[in-house]
Amino acid sequence: MAWWYLLAAGIFEIGFAVSMKLMDGHKNVPWSIAFYICIIASFFFLQEATKSIPIGTAYGVWTGIGGVGVAAIGILYFGDSAAPLRIVFLTLLVSALIGLKLTSTH
């Protein structure tokens, strides 16, 4: 169950990062509300995951899910660069996340 919590935490991390971009300095109230909901949910699920998963693994996977997810959304929806070398490094990051999962004892 802890890995599901960690996945949820990572998804909510993506949500708070995207919401932060869209809330326009708290001028866009719905996105501001989404930001706070996502950040609270992300930290809740992260702390649940760390009850069973080592903190270094959990934190690395959490930030990795968020980083890859936000980068993908940036490319798909915000016109961020999709340069081949950037895609290579995102792929390496995903590989590292898989490695952390496979080498975890929990």
Domain boundaries, the chain: 2-103
Rounded mean pLDDT, 56-61: 94
Res 91: pLDDT: 95
pLDDT tens digits along 11-43 = 999 999 999 999 999 999 999 999 999 999 999
Residue 50 DSSP SS3: coil
92 has a pLDDT exceeding 80? yes
Share of the chain above pLDDT 90, in %: 93
Res 16: pLDDT: 96
- Per the CB < 8 A criterion, the answer to whether 31 and 47 are in contact is no
- Per the CB < 8 A criterion, the answer to whether 45 and 12 are in contact is yes
Rounded mean pLDDT, 60-71: 95
